[in-house]
Structure 1
Amino acid sequence: MSTITGRDLTALFDPRSVAVLGASNDETKYGNWISVQALRMTGHRSVHLVNRRGERILGQPSLQSLSELDERVDLVVITVPAQGFEEAVDDALAAGATAIVGVTAGFAELGAAGKAVQDRVVARVRAAGAVLLGPNCLGVLDSSTALTLASNPLPAGRVALLSQSGNMALELSQFLEARGHGFSRFASLGNQADLGAADLIRSCVEHDETELIAVYCEDFGDGRAFVDAAAQASRAGKPVLLLTVGGSEASIRGAQSHTGSLTSDSAVIDAACRAAGVYRVSSPRQLADVAATLLGYGPAEVRRVGVVADGGGHAGVASDVVEAAGLTVPEFPADISGALRDLLPPSAGVTNPVDLAGAGEQDITSFVSVLDIILQSPAVDSVLLTGYFGGYGSYGENLARKEIETARAMAETARAHGKPVVVHTMHPDSAAARVLADSGVPVFRAVEDAAGTLGVIAETTAPQHQSSTDSLPSAPVTSDAYWDSRELFRGAGVEFPAARLVRNCAEAVAAAETVGFPVVLKAMGLLHKSDSGGVALGLGSAEQLADAFTRMDASLGASAYCVEAMADLSEGVELIVGVQTDPRFGPVAMVGLGGIFTEVLADVSFALAPVDAETARGLLDNLRASALLRGVRGRPPIDIDAAADAVAAITAVATAHPEIAELEINPLLVTPKQALGLDARIVLNSSKTN
C-alpha cells in the first residue's frame, strides 16, 4: 500500500476485484485487448466484463451495467467512447471503485472543451477518495500481484515502467526483454489528469519487487514534484531513468533577459535530472542498456575506464569513443602495466588500452587474468572489453567450452571486484555472450553503445541538496526598476559598488564626489541599458560626468540616473548569474561567463534554484572557462567562495519572490578578494519593460 502522498494506491496495483467497462469482442478495440488480458487474472481476483448489450465477451458472460454487481469492485477500467466517459466514471464510483483506469481518449489532448470534461471527472474522483490513471492510457500491470490490465502482455522483471506513450512502452519492453529483463510494474500515464509521474514514482519506492524505475514523459506537470519523488527513489537505492523529448526547442518564449534567451528546454530538464539524481537517456535502446548495467552493478563510479581488446583496431576505436562519451582512458600505474607485461606476449599493449595481441587465441583464460589485474587497480573504475570474444568458440568444441567457462569466470571476477564491466563483441548472440549477459555483465553489439552507457552513468550524481529561503523577507516585489532591483539583491547579501540615485546633472556631480571618481552613469527605465546607450563607463572627472549626463539625458530623457563607483576590472572575471522561471520546474538558475560576450560565448551551466554554495561551486566548475577562475597566465585565482555565496544569494531571491519571472546580475565581477554586482535587473510576471 502506498501512503507516501496520502493517497492509497492499493486498488490500482493489487485490487481484489476488477471490471472492464466497455468490454468487446471487436479485435480492433481496446475493450477487447484489455478484456483478453483481464481474463488471465481470473485465478487471482474477481473479473467482471461489462458490455451495454450484455452479450458474451470472449466466451464469458458479461454484465450490462456495474449496478448489476452484488459486490464492491475495487478497480474499473473504462474503455467506452469519450461521450460516455463521465457517466462511466460515475457508475464506477457508485460501484465502490477506489481506482479507475481511463483508457478512453479525447480529453485535454484535444483542447479546452476536452480539458473541461477531464477536470470535472478528476474533481469527482478526488471527492470520492479514489484515484484515476489516465485518461488516454494503455492500462496498468503489476507482476508481483498478477495484475494484467494493459493492452499488451509484458515480460516480468525488476523494472517499473511509467510511460506517457503506449507505443514507446511497447518498444522499451522489447529492448528490455532482449537483455533478459522485464517489468515489476507498468503504468501508462496518459494525460496525468489525476495521478502523475511523481505519484507513481513514490508508489514504486515502497514496492519491494521494483529495483529500477524507467520513465518516458512528455509533460511533467508539476516538475518539482517529479524531482522530489525521483530524488526519494534515488536515495532509496532505486535508480530513476528518464527518456523525454523536446530538447531542441526553447521552452520559454519572449524572454526579456540574457538568462531567458539562453535557457533551453533541454537545459532545464538536465538541471532537474541533476537535482534528482536521475539518469537521462536519449533513446529507448539506451534506456534499456543503462537499465541493464545498473541492474547488474547498481550506481557506481565509472569515469576512469580500462579498455581491453584482442586487436589494435578495436583498442584504438574503443578508446576514442570512450573519451568522446566524456570518460577517460588513463595510463595504468607501473605495477599494473608490469603485471600485464609478464602475462601477455611482448607485442601486447599494456598501458591502456590493452591489446592482448593474440593471447586470447593462445590461452582464452587470459581474458580473466587481464580483467582481474586491471580491476585490482584503484586507478580504474570500470572496464570495457571490446572485440572478438564470443567468436572463439566457432573454431572447435573444445575452445567453445573453454570460452563459456571463461565468460563465467569473467562475470565472477567483475562481481568480486564490484566494478562495472561492459562487453562489446562482434558476436553478441554467441553462447559465451549469453552467459555474460545472464550473469549480469551487459553485452553490446556496438562499442559506442557500451561507451555511451558508461557515459550516462558517469554524468549522474546523487540528488542535490536544495537550500532554504526561509530567512529572506517575503514582502512582494512591486518595482522592477534598476535601483530597486539593486537594493533587493543588496538586501540578500550581494555586494555592489557605492552608488547614489540622482535626477539632474548637479546631483550627479555631487554623488560622484561622494562615492569617488571614476564613476559609471546609468540611465534608469531601460531593460538593456548598454544596448540603448544608457551606460557611460570610466568617467574620471566632474566635466566628463556632466558631458555624459547631458548627452544621455538629451537622447533618452530618463526619469532618474544612477551614479556608481567604477570597479577595478583588471584582476576580475565577469560572470552572469540569473534565474528564469520554467512553467514546469519553477526557478532555474544559470551561471556563466558574463559581460558583453554572454550570448556570444554561451558558456553557461544550470541548476534548479535555489542552490547552496556547494552546488554553486559545481556550476562554476562545469563552465568551459573554469580555468579562468583558477588563474591563468599570471592572473591570480578569483575568490571562488565569494562567487559561490553570491550565486546562492541571487538564486534565493528568485525563489523567495514568485512574482519575479526573470532576474540576473550581469556582470557579477569576481576578484581575488570579493564578488561585486555591477548591474542587476528583474522582470516581474506582469512586466514588459523595466
Structure 2
Amino acid sequence: MTVLAPDEGQVRARDLSALFAPRAVAVVGASNDQSKYGNWLSVQALRMQGRRAVYLVGRRGEPVLGEPTYRTLAELPEPVDLVVIAVPAAGFEAAVEDALAAGAKAIVGITAGFGELGAEGRAREAALVARVRAAGAVLLGPNCLGVLDSTTGLSLASNPLPAGSVALISQSGNMALELSRFLTDRGLGFSRFASLGNQADLGAADLIRSCAEDPGTELIALYCEDFGDGRAFVAAAADAVAAGKPVVLLTVGGSAASVRGAKSHTGALTSDSSVIDAACRAAGIDRVTSPRQMADLLAALHRFGRARADRVAVLADGGGHAAVACDLAEAQGLSVPEFGPGLAGALRAGLPPSAGVGNPVDIAGAGERDIASFTRTLRLLLAAPDVDAALLTGYFGGYGSYGERLAAAELATATELGALVREYGKPVVVHTMCPDTATSEELRRQGVPVFAAVEDAARCLGMLARRAEPAEPPGRPDGSGSGAVTDDGYWTARELVRTAGVAFPAARRAASPDGAAEAARAIGGGPFVVKALGLLHKSDAGGVALGLTDADAVRAAAQDMTDRLAPPGFCVEAMADPSGGVEIIVGVRRDPRFGPVVMVGLGGITTEVLRDVTFALAPLVPAQAKELLLRLGAAALLHGVRGRPAVDLDALAESVAAVAGLAAAHPEIAELEVNPLLATPDGCLGLDARIVLAD
C-alpha cells in the first residue's frame, strides 16, 4: 500500500495578493440603479478612495454616484490589479478579456448564468478558467458576491461587514450576512470575506491556504456546499489547523441522494454527511449545524483557544437551573464530577448553610445579599485542578433591577468575573435570564460568552470539549494498483483482498456440482461452504450453503443451486468457526469529491440493522484503522466481554488498512467490501468479499 505524504501532490498556495491587497481596482458594470450589484459594489468601492486607485467602468460613460466613469477598461490611465465584473452573462467573457488586457491579476465574477445552469454553462466556465490561468491571473466566482479584506481596507462586497479576525469563505451571501450579525453581537468581525460562487477557478482549498498565511486572520469560517477537490480541501484545512488557525465548517448533508445507486452495504450505509464528518476528522475541522452555532464556537475559540472543557463545574443561583444545566451538560458528553471534600469545604465556608457545594454549586439566594459570592465561588472553581470549565446559570445579569446599589455591585462583579476568566484561561460560559442588561453587556465586553438559553451555553462547552486533536491527514490515493480490475466476481474480489494481506479460508473454484465435490476433497477436512458465483447478493438469492460435512453434501448443495439459479460456477471454501470471534464489516466507497472513504462496523447480517459504523478517508495506516475501530459503539466487544477473549486488535487494524489501501490504489473500483471479516484472538479471516466497478 502506498500512502503519500500529506502534502505530496497537493497544489501549493496560489498568489492571491492581487485579490486581497490590490494597488488599483476597477468595477465593471458600475451603475446608478440601486437595484443592481453594479451600484452596490460601486458604493463600497468608493469607500476605498484615498487608500488605492478606484475606477468605475460603465458602458454609458455617465457619472455614477457623482464620480466620473470610463466606458471601457482600455481607457483607464493605469493598469489595475483587481477587476470586479457585474455585467450580464452575455458580456462576461468579453469583460474578462478586457480585464486581462488591462493588467488584472485577479478577477471577481459577480455575474451569474454559468455552471449553475448546466453543462453549457460549465463549458463556458472551463474556457474562461483556461484563459485566466494562461494569463497568470485568478478568478473568484463567477456567481459570487465579492471580496473584502479589512486589514488592507479592501471593500468590494455587496454589503459592508464588521472588521475583526475571522476569515469567512462562503458559497452563500445570506449566510455571510447572518453570521456577521451573530459575530457583531459577540464582539467579533471579519479579517477577510470571499464569496466562492461557482468555484470555477479559485476553490475553498485555495482560499483556506491564503487565509492561513494571512497575519490578520485568527480563525477560518466556511460555508461550503461543494468542496471541489475534497482531498485538496482536507489538506489545506489540516495545514491551517496545524498552523494554529482553527477551521469551522457549516455545510449541508445527510441526504442519501448520492448513494441511491449503491449496490453494497457500504454504499447503503454511507451518506454525504458521514463522508464530510470523516473529512473533518482527518483535517481537524470543527463542524457546526447553524450560523448561530458557528458564531458561538468562533467566539469560544477566539477567547479560549484549545483549552480543555471536559470536566465542568456548574454554578447557579437556584436549584432548578442547577439541575437542568447538569443534565444538559452531560447530554453534551461533558462530565459534571462530584467535588472532593477539600473543594467542597472551601466552597461551603463562603456560602450560606443551605448552599449546595458538591457540583452543581447552588449559592442558594446569596446573590442579592452578597453578589461578590459569585466572584469568590468562581475563583475557587477555576483554581481547582480537576475542573476544566465552568457554566454559570440563572439570574446573574438581572440583579441590577433591584436598585442602583445592587446594579453597581453586579456590574463590578461582572468585570471581576471577566478578570478571573483571563487569569485562569479556562472556558467559562454564562447563561442568564436577563441577556440584554448592562451587566450582560459588560460580561461580553470582558470576553465571556453570554447565552439567553442554558442549552446553548452547554452546547458551546460541548463543542469545545469535542474538538479533535489535529490528526495526521490521509495520503492521497495514487492509483498505483498493479493492473486494472475488470471483473467484479466473487472469486476476483476474494483473491484481490487476499493478495493485499487479508487471510481467507482455503478455497477452490469449480464449474459443476461434481467439480465442487472434487474441490472439497482437495481442501480436505470439513465442514465446507459452497457459494454460487455470478450473483451480486449470494445469500439473499439462496446462493450460499453452510455447514456441509463432506464432498457428497457439497455436490448436493451445488446441484440444488444449479437447478434454481444456474450459476456459472462455484466457490468451495473451508468453513471457519465464528463462535470465538467478532464479525466486522470493512468497506470502501469512492466519493466523487473526497475519493475513497473507508467504513468499519459490526458485520454479518447485523450490519444494516444496528448501523454501528464509523468512517475515515482512505488510505489508512494501521494506527488510524485502530482509532476507527475504537470509535465503534460496540468497541467493547473487541476487548472481550462476559468471559470472551479479546480479539487481536493489531491484526484487525492491519486488515482494515489493507482493504482501504487496496481500494485507494484502484480508482476503477467504486465499492469494495469484506463482510464479514472475522476478528479472533489469533488474527483475522475474511469470509466474504464484494467489488462494484465504476461505470
Q: TM-score range by the shorter chain?
A: over 0.9
Q: Among 363, 368, 371, which residue is 2:370 paired with?
A: 363
- Contact 2:13/2:210, CA 8 A, preserved across alignment: no
Unaligned runs of 5+ in 2: 1-9
Q: Among 14, 34, 37, which residue is 1:27 paired with?
A: 34
Q: Among 137, 142, 159, which residue is 2:166 paired with?
A: 159
Q: Distance in 1 between matches of 2:364 and 2:181?
A: 37
After TM superposition, the structure 1 = structure 2 runs for residues 280-359 of structure 1, keeping only pairs within 5 Å, are 280-359=287-366
1:623 aligns with 632
1:256 aligns to 2:263 (yes or no): yes
Deviation at 1:405, TM superposition (A): 2.3
- Contact 1:465/1:612, CA 8 A, preserved across alignment: no
Q: Among 503, 511, 517, which residue is 1:509 paired with?
A: 517
**Residue 398 of structure 1: SS of its match in structure 2?**
helix
Q: Distance in 1 between matches of 2:479 and 2:231?
A: 21
1:93 aligns to 2:100 (yes or no): yes
Deviation at 1:415, TM superposition (A): 2.4
**Residue 579 of structure 2: SS of its match in structure 1?**
coil
Deviation at 1:438, TM superposition (A): 1.6
After TM superposition, the structure 1 = structure 2 runs for residues 516-531 of structure 1, keeping only pairs within 5 Å, are 516-531=525-540
Q: Distance in 1 between matches of 2:340 and 2:548?
A: 59
Q: Among 483, 493, 497, which residue is 2:491 paired with?
A: 483
Classify 1:52/1:164 alpha carbon distance in 2 versus 1 (closer, same or farther; 3 Å).
same
- Contact 2:266/2:587, CA 8 A, preserved across alignment: yes
- Contact 2:368/2:406, CA 8 A, preserved across alignment: no
Deviation at 1:652, TM superposition (A): 0.8
After TM superposition, the structure 1 = structure 2 runs for residues 33-48 of structure 1, keeping only pairs within 5 Å, are 33-48=40-55
Instruction: Give the TM-score normalised by structure 2.
Output: 0.96
Q: Distance in 2 between matches of 1:144 and 1:499?
A: 68
Q: Among 629, 653, 676, which residue is 2:685 paired with?
A: 676
Deviation at 1:344, TM superposition (A): 2.4
The amino acid across from 1:266 in the alignment is: S
1:499 aligns with 507
1:389 aligns with 396
Classify 1:292/1:16 alpha carbon distance in 2 versus 1 (closer, same or farther; 3 Å).
same
1:138 aligns with 145
Q: Distance in 2 between matches of 1:643 and 1:471?
A: 24
After TM superposition, the structure 1 = structure 2 runs for residues 571-590 of structure 1, keeping only pairs within 5 Å, are 571-590=580-599
The amino acid across from 1:327 in the alignment is: L
Relative to structure 2, which stretch is displaced further, 368-377 or 303-312?
Answer: 368-377
Deviation sequence 1:508-537 (CA, Å, 0-9, x none) = 333323242011111111121111111111
Relative to structure 2, which stretch is displaced further, 493-502 or 210-219?
Answer: 493-502
Q: Distance in 1 between matches of 2:59 and 2:510?
A: 79
Deviation at 1:436, TM superposition (A): 1.8
Deviation at 1:458, TM superposition (A): 2.6
**Residue 545 of structure 1: SS of its match in structure 2?**
helix
Deviation at 1:376, TM superposition (A): 2.8
Q: Distance in 2 between matches of 1:338 and 1:538?
A: 67
User: How high is the sequence identity, in percent, across the aligned residues?
Assistant: 66
1:548 aligns to 2:557 (yes or no): yes
Q: Distance in 2 between matches of 1:471 and 1:599?
A: 30
**Residue 570 of structure 1: SS of its match in structure 2?**
helix
1:5 aligns to 2:12 (yes or no): yes
Q: Among 563, 571, 576, which residue is 1:562 paired with?
A: 571
**Residue 123 of structure 2: SS of its match in structure 1?**
helix
Deviation at 1:645, TM superposition (A): 1.5
Q: Distance in 2 between matches of 1:466 and 1:22?
A: 44
Q: Among 419, 422, 428, which residue is 2:429 paired with?
A: 422
Deviation at 1:472, TM superposition (A): 7.2
The amino acid across from 2:633 in the alignment is: R
Deviation sequence 1:413-464 (CA, Å, 0-9, x none) = 2222222111111111222222221222111111111122222233331232
**Residue 344 of structure 1: SS of its match in structure 2?**
coil
Q: Among 479, 482, 491, which residue is 1:474 paired with?
A: 482
1:634 aligns to 2:634 (yes or no): no
**Residue 241 of structure 1: SS of its match in structure 2?**
strand
Relative to structure 2, which stretch is displaced further, 4-13 or 295-304?
Answer: 4-13
Deviation at 1:165, TM superposition (A): 0.7
After TM superposition, the structure 1 = structure 2 runs for residues 227-266 of structure 1, keeping only pairs within 5 Å, are 227-266=234-273
1:599 aligns with 608
Q: Distance in 2 between matches of 1:36 and 1:472?
A: 54
Q: Among 206, 211, 216, which residue is 1:204 paired with?
A: 211
Q: Distance in 2 between matches of 1:470 and 1:95?
A: 41
Deviation sequence 1:15-55 (CA, Å, 0-9, x none) = 00000001000000000000000000011000000011110
**Residue 392 of structure 2: SS of its match in structure 1?**
strand
Q: Distance in 2 between matches of 1:25 and 1:332?
A: 67
Q: Distance in 1 between matches of 2:104 and 2:478?
A: 42
Relative to structure 2, which stretch is displaced further, 328-337 or 417-426?
Answer: 328-337
Classify 1:310/1:118 alpha carbon distance in 2 versus 1 (closer, same or farther; 3 Å).
same
Q: Distance in 2 between matches of 1:592 and 1:336?
A: 43
1:267 aligns with 274
- Contact 1:515/1:564, CA 8 A, preserved across alignment: no
Deviation sequence 1:296-337 (CA, Å, 0-9, x none) = 011232222221111111111111111222322222233322
- Contact 1:631/1:638, CA 8 A, preserved across alignment: yes
2:195 aligns with 188
Deviation sequence 1:71-101 (CA, Å, 0-9, x none) = 1111000011111100000000010100000
- Contact 2:166/2:218, CA 8 A, preserved across alignment: yes
2:7 aligns with none
The amino acid across from 2:641 in the alignment is: V
After TM superposition, the structure 1 = structure 2 runs for residues 105-184 of structure 1, keeping only pairs within 5 Å, are 105-184=112-191
Q: Distance in 1 between matches of 2:664 and 2:218?
A: 34
Q: Distance in 2 between matches of 1:74 and 1:609?
A: 41
Deviation sequence 1:102-158 (CA, Å, 0-9, x none) = 011111111122222222111111110000011111110000000000111110001
Deviation sequence 1:358-398 (CA, Å, 0-9, x none) = 23233222222222222233333221111111111222223
Q: Distance in 2 between matches of 1:359 and 1:85?
A: 68
Total equivalences in the alignment: 684
Deviation sequence 1:557-577 (CA, Å, 0-9, x none) = 222211111111112111111
- Contact 2:381/2:387, CA 8 A, preserved across alignment: yes
Classify 1:6/1:340 alpha carbon distance in 2 versus 1 (closer, same or farther; 3 Å).
closer
**Residue 641 of structure 2: SS of its match in structure 1?**
coil
Relative to structure 2, which stretch is displaced further, 322-331 or 234-243?
Answer: 322-331
Deviation at 1:627, TM superposition (A): 2.2
The amino acid across from 1:83 in the alignment is: A
Classify 1:4/1:222 alpha carbon distance in 2 versus 1 (closer, same or farther; 3 Å).
closer
Classify 1:653/1:565 alpha carbon distance in 2 versus 1 (closer, same or farther; 3 Å).
same
Deviation sequence 1:211-235 (CA, Å, 0-9, x none) = 0001011111111111111111110
Q: Distance in 2 between matches of 1:308 and 1:101?
A: 51
The amino acid across from 1:226 in the alignment is: F
Classify 1:338/1:636 alpha carbon distance in 2 versus 1 (closer, same or farther; 3 Å).
farther
2:660 aligns with 651
Unaligned runs of 5+ in 1: none
